Amino acid sequence: MSQTIVQQLDVQGLACPMPIAKAAIAIRSMQPGDRLEVLATDPGSVPDFTAWCAKTGNDLLEQTEDAGVFRFLILKG
């Protein structure tokens, strides 16, 4: 399994549901085991990404916040 981030997705400034829609498109072209890093500013993206990962079989490895920017590290399942 690759330990590096394969793709980064910057959805800062975008409102719900754009972050999820863009993540769904981005992860589609990745391989199982690849990691996707998402940067978002919409506070609603925290519950959304948690639920989205649970539904889609991807793992939410990390979720952090720094100065209003939410970072999600997702492992494609």
Partner 1 sequence: MSGVPARIVVLGGGVGGTLVANLLDKRLGKDAAITVVDPTGMHDYQPGYLYLALNGANAHWLSRDERTLLRGGVDLAIEEAVRIHPDAGTVQLARGGSLAWDYLVIATGARLVYDEIPGLAEGSHGFYSLTEAERLRAALRTFSGGKIVIGVAGIPYKCPPAPVEFAMLLEEHLRDRGIRDRSEVVLASPLNRAFTIESASKIVQPIMRERGIQLETFFNVESVDPSAGIVSSLEGDKLEYDLLVLVPPHRGQDVISDSNLGDAGGWIPTNRSTLNAGGYERVFALGDATDLPISKSGSTAHFEAPVIASRIASLILGTAPAENYGGRVMCFLETGNGKATVLRFDYEHPPVPPEPSRGWHMAKWIFNRAYWETVPQGRLPDRAPGTMPKEVVR
The residue among 3 and 44 lying less far from partner 1, judged by its C-beta, is: 44
The residue among 20 and 75 lying less far from partner 1, judged by its C-beta, is: 20
Length of the chain measured in residues: 77
Bridge partners (DSSP) of residue 1 are none
The least CB distance from residue 17 to partner 1, in Å, is 5
Q: Which residues bind partner 1 (CB under 8 A)?
A: 13-18, 20-21, 24-25, 28, 44, 48, 51-52, 55-56
**59-66 and 5-11 strand pairing:** unpaired
50: part of which helix (H) or strand (E)? Answer: helix 45-56
Q: How many helices (H) and strands (E) does the chain have?
A: 2, 4
The least CB distance from residue 13 to partner 1, in Å, is 7
Catalytic sites, residue numbers: 16
The residue among 4 and 23 lying less far from partner 1, judged by its C-beta, is: 23
